[in-house]
Amino acid sequence: MLEVNGVDGFYGNSQALFGVSLQVAKGEAVGLLGRNGMGKTTTVRAIMNLLTVNSGSLAFHGRTIRGLPTFRIAQLGIGLVPEGRQIFPNLTVLENLTATARAPSKTSGLKPWTLDHIFQVFPILGHRRRHMGNQLSGGEQQMLAIGRALLTNPDLLILDEATEGLAPLVRTEIWKCLGQLKDHGHSILIIDKNIQALTDVADRHYILEKGRVVWTGSSNELVADSLLRLQHLGV
């Protein structure tokens, strides 16, 4: 589904990614791991054409997306839950959810997402549908960001720092949602520091260090290798 091959990424004249390659297959959940500043968000920005990619290839459903405008990449079926949530503070919950909503592609094979479905997954959003974005707690804003992305009916959902800085109960609710998405066949690329929760959901993982992929393997392999986790993740 998503194919990233040999990507070099730059912020101005400063190189941030060095030959990064990763894949996400249909129905697969993949973790993207690494310490802070190692290139995880930069990789997401490269996928969405939010920074300069000087070499390598990016393809989605076999179609090249390198150089496409970000809105076209989203229209092709990539839904992003960005770091920092980036909801619209002066729009209501309902307006945030519907502003970018779109119908599912004819080939996705997934059950379409609707407002009612979002409110079933995150009931608090239904209760707060008339509240402005800046009136929500951090956890509610993250649920809103996930709901907004799901209402684009994406073929691939990317979550950058899925549960960072959230209260334990909120984190549990979001991981439950991600597990349900995986069980229903959604393709997901997840960045998060909660290794235990991530390995419960994801099939495979990539570890980045200084803009390079230094390891890839299954959840079982990651859990079993404590030296690897200590060396590259500090856990």
115-160 residue pLDDT tens = 999 999 999 999 999 999 999 999 999 999 999 999 999 999 999 9
What lies within 8 Å, CB to CB, of 57 at 6+ separation is 3, 4, 5, 6, 7, 64, 66
Closest CA to 109 of 180, 176, 27: 27
Beta-bridge mates of residue 7: 20
Tell me how far apart the terminal alpha carbons of the chain are, to the nearest angstrom: 31
Tell me, rounded to whole angstroms, the distance of Cα 49 from its chain centroid.
15
Is 223 strand, coil or helix?
helix
Closest CA to 152 of 72, 213, 214: 72
Q: How far, in Å, CA of 235 to CA of 226, rounded?
A: 8
Q: How far, in Å, CA of 41 to CA of 122, rounded?
A: 26
* pLDDT (0 to 100) of residue 81: 96
pLDDT at position 195 over 70: yes
pLDDT band at 207 (very low <50, low <70, confident <90, very high): very high
pLDDT band at 107 (very low <50, low <70, confident <90, very high): low
pLDDT band at 109 (very low <50, low <70, confident <90, very high): confident
Strands (E), 116-170: 156-160
Beta-bridge mates of residue 156: 78, 187
* Per-residue model confidence as pLDDT tens digits over 6-46: 999 999 999 999 999 999 999 999 999 999 999 999 999 99
pLDDT at position 68 over 90: yes
Burial class (CB in 10 A: 0-12, 13-18, 19+), 117: middle
**Average pLDDT score over the chain:** 94
% residues pLDDT > 70 (the chain): 98
Q: How far, in Å, CA of 103 to CA of 113, rounded?
A: 8
* pLDDT (0 to 100) of residue 111: 84
- What domains, with CATH codes, occur in the chain? 2-232 (3.40.50.300)
* pLDDT (0 to 100) of residue 60: 97
Q: Which two tokens stand for residue 18?
A: 């060095």
* pLDDT (0 to 100) of residue 200: 95
Q: How many helices (H) and strands (E) does the chain have?
A: 10, 10
* pLDDT (0 to 100) of residue 235: 64
Q: How far, in Å, CA of 43 to CA of 16, rounded?
A: 9
pTM of the model: 0.94
pLDDT at position 98 over 70: yes
What is the residue whose two structure tokens read 């990614």? 17
* Per-residue model confidence as pLDDT tens digits over 153-188: 999 999 999 898 899 999 999 999 999 999 999 999
What sign has the CA pseudo-torsion 102, 70, 128, 170?
positive
Strands 156-160 and 78-81: parallel
Beta-bridge mates of residue 212: 209
